[in-house]
Structure 1
Amino acid sequence: MIESVNLQELLIFILVFTRLTSFIFYVPLFFPSGVPQRYKVVLSLLLTFIMVPIIGKTAPEVNNNLYFIVLICKEISIGLLLGFITTIVFQIVQMAGQFLDFQVSFSMSAVFDPLSNETATILGRFFYMLCMIVFILIDGHHLVIASLAESFNLVGIGALSFKPEIFTYMVHVIIEFFYIGFKMAVPIIFIIIITDFTLGLVARVMPQLNIMMLGIPIKIMLGLLTVSLSVPVLMKMIINNLDQMSQAIKGLLDVLPCVLVFFASEGGEKTEDATPKKKSDARKKGQVAKSKEFTSAIGLLGVTAVAMFFLEGVLNGLKEILIMFFSQYTNMELTLNNVSEIVKIVIIKMLIIFLPVALPIMVMGVIANIAQVGKMFTKEPLKPKFEKINPIKGLKNMFSIKAIIDLLKNIIIIIIIGYVGYKFIESNYYRILNFTNLRFVAMTYALGDLIVDILKKVSLVMIVIGIADYGYQKYKFKKDLRMTKQEVKEEFKQQEGDPIVKGKRRQKQREMAMRRMMQDIPDATVVITNPTHIAIALKYEENSGVAPKVIGKGADNIAIKIKEIAKNNDIPIIENKPLARLIYKEVDLGLEIPYNMYQAVAEILAVVYKMKK
């Protein structure tokens, strides 16, 4: 027995080691070319020692050497397939760089790379290293090791079956990956093509110019500059493409369960509106629909109102301070007491001038926030969170759809406000030129009038933009809060409890109530029947001043059980169909009969007492 167990464990160890070794030897990510093979073997052994206790699988029975060789081949195939899926992620990124090398004229400067033991172009190798950096930053090596462990759960040891669909689908996956790599290089390729087209036009206009000798350095410079500026975008594209690859790999699960989706998104599609609890939790965290543009528009409206009513007062106040300083304090002796007095006067004067300006603007900002989110006090946004300084998350936020929409929105706002400013200057151009004919004081007031006018126009435009943006933010917030059906079920379970558990609990309570009811039947005074389908057990105590009480009732099998207990305890059984049905329908267990049934029940009790006498 001990020898059998030891052989089983040894067989599992060998097969797991085979799968992991074939994967590690195939993937150059862990150990580049030139690293001694023993390090790969040692890593495989370490991973095997870690995974064997976790897997807990039973090995298939091996009756002969040929079957053992087949098992080894299957495990090698699974490891190679996993290695191929992992390696192709990096190869397509390198391929995108090689496409660019061809356009930038770097393809002729290919060099031998001793790490990968192959010839690689400059940008191809750069893209490969960039992909590796991103892969490590998102802990891709952890995901790969976790996926290797999970592969033993999806495809047990020796459970691989070779199907034609596997090879057909792998061809489809390769085509998909090729398309992704080409898509990564297309934007920069288009820039180079446009450059070539422009150089062609130059050559057409100036035939004497050696456009080939001029074009090569221009394309090299433009290509390097474009790639340098596109590094953040390329990193985002690599992350997105790794996410998109999960869709291509996911279909492989239908034909080969061992292929894992390394970068699959969690959960299902969010189609359900957010529940009140989720909305409340989001509000507690400070997550509400809020438009910065709307707040800015209301604040700008406050600035406009202040400029209309307080601008002249502010200018007069500043003028008085200047006159006071130049007339009273220029010849004053600078002592500690005098300086303190001057500072005190300046602070008081400034507060008198600017508080009427600042307070309305602050109030308008508060009103704008309350109008959007209502009264809300939360400390959650102030708490330090380490994910806020996560560089990968920062890159994702920087190049997310939300960031692009915000960028487009800001560009549109700048264009609109710029257009309003342009039209305003155009319409007041000659008026501004005539400012040279005004005195300085008049010029100041005229400039104030112009500022108020342009603030009115811009405020009106910003309010329209703010209202539109607030509507969009509400829609976006509602969409972001949507839940999957599974999330709704889980929340319902947390609030109401598991329906299955609740059903079992109610069933248990009914059974306990039924047992108590059957125990009370022997104390009944009379049992009223349908006669076959319904039985009602009534208890009445003479001279108690209390109406008869229903201590038991039931239909079908329960009614039969009540009648059996009544017969065994010599309790009278009276047939009265209308009364039995009425009590069964109207009176709950443990309650007294209502007033309208007194007459019918009294007649039955009279019969019972006559029978007893």
Structure 2
Amino acid sequence: MSGGSSQQKTEAPSPRRLREARKKGQVPRSRDLSAAIILLFALAMIAFLKDSMVISMQRLLLEYYRAAPTLDLPAENLLFYALGFTARMCLVIMPVLAGIVAIAVAASVVQVGVLFAPQVLQPKLERLNPVEGLKRIFSLRSLFELVKNTLKIIIVAAVVYFVVKARLPEMLLIYFKTPAQMLDLIAAALLAAAFAGGGAFLVISFFDLLFQRYEYIKNLRMTRQEVKDELKQTEGDPLVKSWLRRRQREMIMNAIRREVPRATVVVTNPIHVAVAVRYEEKEMSAPVVTAKGAGDLVPVIKRLARQNDVPVVENPPVARALYQVDVGREIPVELYRAIAEIIAMVYRLKGKVV
């Protein structure tokens, strides 16, 4: 039972797993949301610029129509003439096209941030496998997408239907309008229906985005064993780390047992840190820190010092400063005076004892 449960993906994906998935281009993204935003932005641009675009197109058409009777072109130049006309037409709608490209990029960045995943472009042989292709086509995922898209079409179509139905009485009066008024009425009706459908599409796409994120996290879930294996890879095997900590503590304790009995004095905080200092006037140019400890090592150092008749001096500022010095190094110059006074006091006490 425990072995089976350990293989169930019940753990949330780790940051490392999420980073690796992102590098592969696997991100929670709703194509419907991007499409809805692009559609609504394009409609807004058209509604805002339609008058100026229509006027520009009218001027362009009039220019070509007026020039047509007097135009004498060889047959081989007609293609270039048509291409020039098409290019000028594209310039008229260029603001809308540029806006659509910009909003498409922005919609993608808002969902997944700036992402460059070259691995997505690498060819994968499994994509050419017809068996795998059939599995994807006849999978539960494909069935779900089919149902989702069908519901999406039904909801959007229903919204558009009700908008058009509300405008139907106004549309019946189209026969009493001038051609310009007819075009304005049809354009307004089409835009209203398109905005309504796009708005419904946008609302649906938000739910699709939430679902895509849920599916993304669900598919990246990990088993407990995978979490343990990843922890070993990223932070090392806990058993090895525990052994290293024990080994380091043993080395520190051995150094303390060896050096504290030989120290000249032990300076303490008194309960936070303890530092053993050794000074031999004829052998050393300056006192040397031979051992130090903090926390539960402080009583050990103090007990060893007392057992070996090494004086213990409480001086919190000096103890803190000495604790910053590496074991085996001479004390810094700025501590000479303080340590000299402590050692002088120790020598006087030893002289009294003797």
TM-score by length of 1: 0.47
CA shift at 1:467, angstroms?
2.0
Distance 2:228 2:319 in 1: 37
Match of 1:606 in 2: 348
User: Within 5 A, what are the aligned runs for 1:374-385?
Assistant: 374-385=113-124
1:540/1:549 contact within 8 Å kept: no
2:13/2:222 contact within 8 Å kept: yes
Match of 1:574 in 2: 309
Match of 1:309 in 2: 48
Larger relative contact order (CA 8 Å, sep ≥ 6): 2
2:260/2:276 contact within 8 Å kept: yes
1:294/1:470 contact within 8 Å kept: yes
Distance 2:265 2:308 in 1: 6
1:525/1:539 contact within 8 Å kept: yes
Match of 2:12 in 1: 273
How many residues end up aligned between the 2 structures?
336
1:73-127: CA deviation from partner (whole Å, max 9, x where unpaired): xxxxxxxxxxxxxxxxxxxxxxxxxxxxxxxxxxxxxxxxxxxxxxxxxxxxxxx
Greater shift, 424-433 or 590-599, is seen at 590-599
The letter of the residue matching 2:185 is A
1:174-228: CA deviation from partner (whole Å, max 9, x where unpaired): xxxxxxxxxxxxxxxxxxxxxxxxxxxxxxxxxxxxxxxxxxxxxxxxxxxxxxx
The letter of the residue matching 1:356 is P
Change (3 A) 1:328 1:548: closer
In the alignment, structure 2 segments of 5+ residues that lack a partner are 268-273
The letter of the residue matching 2:291 is I
Greater shift, 395-404 or 588-597, is seen at 588-597
Change (3 A) 1:585 1:268: farther
CA shift at 1:393, angstroms?
3.2
Measured on the aligned residues, the alpha-carbon RMSD in Å equals: 4.2
The letter of the residue matching 2:289 is K
Match of 1:460 in 2: 199
Distance 1:394 1:610 in 2: 95
User: Within 5 A, what are the aligned runs for 1:71-110?
Assistant: none
CA shift at 1:557, angstroms?
9.4
Distance 1:467 1:550 in 2: 66
The SS at the match of 2:291 is strand
1:579/1:600 contact within 8 Å kept: no
Greater shift, 351-360 or 516-525, is seen at 516-525
| Residue identity (%) | 28
1:8-38: CA deviation from partner (whole Å, max 9, x where unpaired): xxxxxxxxxxxxxxxxxxxxxxxxxxxxxxx
2:29/2:212 contact within 8 Å kept: yes
Distance 1:555 1:420 in 2: 77
Match of 1:482 among 221, 224, 232: 221
CA shift at 1:548, angstroms?
6.1
The SS at the match of 2:120 is helix
Match of 1:541 in 2: 280
Match of 2:239 in 1: 500
Match of 1:218 in 2: none
2:255/2:291 contact within 8 Å kept: no
User: Within 5 A, what are the aligned runs for 1:135-174?
Assistant: none
1:487-543: CA deviation from partner (whole Å, max 9, x where unpaired): 122112111111212222333344445555566568544689xxxxxx985412339
Change (3 A) 1:393 1:336: same
Match of 1:369 among 105, 108, 112: 108
1:318-348: CA deviation from partner (whole Å, max 9, x where unpaired): 4444433333235533327843651453143
1:526/1:605 contact within 8 Å kept: no
The letter of the residue matching 2:45 is V
Greater shift, 498-507 or 453-462, is seen at 498-507
The SS at the match of 2:309 is strand
2:266/2:302 contact within 8 Å kept: no
Distance 1:450 1:296 in 2: 22
Match of 2:271 in 1: none
Distance 1:426 1:558 in 2: 91
In the alignment, structure 1 segments of 5+ residues that lack a partner are 1-250, 255-264, 529-534, 567-571
Give yes or no for the alignment of 1:551 onto 2:291.
Answer: yes
2:277/2:288 contact within 8 Å kept: yes
CA shift at 1:292, angstroms?
1.4
The SS at the match of 1:549 is strand
1:150-192: CA deviation from partner (whole Å, max 9, x where unpaired): xxxxxxxxxxxxxxxxxxxxxxxxxxxxxxxxxxxxxxxxxxx
1:299/1:365 contact within 8 Å kept: yes
The letter of the residue matching 2:85 is V
The letter of the residue matching 2:346 is I
Greater shift, 589-598 or 316-325, is seen at 589-598
Distance 1:375 1:526 in 2: 61
Match of 1:40 in 2: none
1:538/1:550 contact within 8 Å kept: yes
Give yes or no for the alignment of 1:400 onto 2:139.
Answer: yes
Match of 1:472 in 2: 211
User: Within 5 A, what are the aligned runs for 1:333-344?
Assistant: 333-335=72-74, 338-339=77-78, 342-343=81-82
